[in-house]
Structure formats: structure tokens, C-alpha cells
Amino acid sequence: MQDRPAWDQEGDEVAIEDPSDPAGKRPASGPTNTTEKPLWDYALGGTFKSSDLAKFTRTAGLEPVLGLRYGRWKLGIGDGTEWLRFSSFRKDSSLDYQWLDTRRYSLSLSLQQHTLTGGEGSDAPENGPRTVRGRAIANMAITRRWQAGLAFSQDLLGKGDGSTLGFGVSYAWPLEPSSEMVLNAGLTWGTAGHWRNAYGPLRLRADTLRTGIDSWGLGLSYKHRLDRHWAWFGSLSFSGDMGALAELPGNHKGRSGQIGLLYFHR
């Protein structure tokens, strides 16, 4: 089995834990990294993105990417560790408490500001009424290339966003020690209140929506590490409606993309 890219290793660290080994066996000898992480760290960057490629000229623009980590607390993408290790560049800004963080598992609780009419599967529009979502996010490395994750969210302010449960899997294909391609797919389950609230202003007969799995998403991303501190990435995302949501009139497909540059203080 091919090893993951070198960016999974910090400094002189040697990856000695194989996520595909359920017994968690380690070699009897070999160098290890015993350096503890600093109390705080950060990541900075920028991205040129479009939330709707079909309307590129109206939706494209530059956005900053910020992250700060202090102990177990993380703002935005934190120090970028999750981006590097779990093949997931989070699009949204949130405040997270990292309950568990190992080479194989990640479990966190977060607060996220959410636009009520944002729907699912694409970046939420900047304008519109908002609420605060509480989320529990779990990721697991099944093997060195396969990852799986669950994300449960709840409207904490009771503004009608209801609850959602997202399930996703991703496959990381190392192209060389400094780059990899990642393919991911997912489904979103939501309560009737969530779907009605998200699509009520956008779709006729949205008040007929019921609780169920009504959204799917696909993504393809490329990540390339330039050196210890710098990396660039590009991604394409596709989403669509299913179930009762797909039967409503209106657009049922979403296409978004972005390209960005990141700096990691490591």
C-alpha cells in the first residue's frame, strides 16, 4: 500500500501508525516524534471561488482564509492539521472544540453561523436571516486512503433550521510525496423544518417537504504542498436534490469551485 503524502509528517516525524491496521501495531524500532504541539498556532490564506459556476461572473470573488488554534479550541481551519490529515478543506467558518484528535479519529463540537436560506450542498449566500448551528463532527480514517465522516447539526436559536445529519466518504489518491487528489461523496438527511426553511423562499410547494434524505454531493480536490509552510489547492463541488425535493420546480443542481493558497505556521 502506498504511503500518504509527506505532508502528513511534521518536521522529522515518521508515520509509524498505519490507520488500516485495526490492531494499531507499531514497529519495534524506528525514529519517532515526541515534540509536543505549541499551545497556539495559525494558518492564513486566500481563495478565489465561485458558488455557482453557471453564473461565474456574478458569483466569483476573492475571500480570505483564516485559522487559529489555541489548545483544543479552533477557529476556522485552525492550524490546518485537519486540512492536511483528513483530506477535507472546510468551507465554512466555525468555532470548534477538538474533543479527540488522533491519526485515525477526529471528534469535535462546533458553533457555526448559518444563513437560513442557504440550502445544502453549496456555499450559503451572504445575505439573509441567520441562525447559529451547533454541530458534532466525527471523522475516521478507515485505511490510508479511505476516510468516513458524520456531521450532526441543530439550530440552537430555534429559528426553523431544524436538524441535519450528513454522511460522507472520501478517497485520497497520492500522486507524489507533495500532492494528492481527493474524491468525496455524501448524503444529507434533514428534518421537514430544515428543508422547508431552506428552500421555502426558492421553490414553489416547499411547504410539502418532509423529513428525509433530500440532498447529495460530490467533490474533487487537488492539494499540492510547496514546502513546509506553503500549499495551494483547487476544488470542484457538485450537488443535487433527491427525494421529494427533486420533485419541486426549480434548479436541482449546483456547481461550485475554488482555487486557493495557504500558509501554515508550523
What pairs with residue 164 in β-bridges?
A: 153, 190
**pLDDT class for 26, splitting at 50, 70, 90?**
very low
Q: Quote the pLDDT of residue 35.
A: 55
Tell me what the mean pLDDT of segment 46-51 comes to: 92
pLDDT class of 222 with cuts at 50, 70, 90: very high
pLDDT band at 2 (very low <50, low <70, confident <90, very high): very low
Q: Is the pLDDT of residue 28 over 60?
A: no
Whole-Å CA distances, 52 to 11, 56, 59, 219, 254? 39, 6, 6, 14, 7
pLDDT averaged over every residue in the chain = 81
Distance between CA atoms of residues 202 and 198, nearest Å: 8
Cβ-proximal residues to 204 (8 Å cutoff; 6+ apart), any chain: 248, 249, 250
Alpha-carbon distance 163 to 202, whole Å? 20
pLDDT over 70 at 224, yes or no: yes
Overall average pLDDT of the 195-218 stretch: 88
Q: Where does the pLDDT of residue 255 fall: very low under 50, low under 70, confident under 90, or very high at 90 and above?
A: very high
Query: Could you tell me which residue, 143 or 22, shows the higher pLDDT?
Result: 143
Grid coordinates representing 123 are 456555499
Buried residues in 24-52 as b, exposed as e (16+ CB within 10 A): eeeeeeeeeeeeeeeeebbbbbebebbbb
Return the bridge partners of 95, or none: 75, 111
Does the structure show a pLDDT above 50 at 93?
yes
Over residues 104-134, the pLDDT tens digits come to 998 999 998 887 766 654 444 556 788 899 9
> Do residues 62 and 45 touch, judged by C-beta distance below 8 A?
no
Read off the pLDDT band of 138 (50, 70, 90).
Answer: very high
Distance CA 80, CA 92 (A): 14
pLDDT at 41: 92
For residue 200, the model assigns a pLDDT of 80
- Residues 38, 251 contacting (CB under 8 angstroms): no
- The Cα–Cα gap between 76 and 111 comes to 11
Q: Which domains does the chain have, with CATH numbers?
A: 6-18+31-264 (2.40.160.40)
- Rounded (5°) CA angle 49-50-56: 135
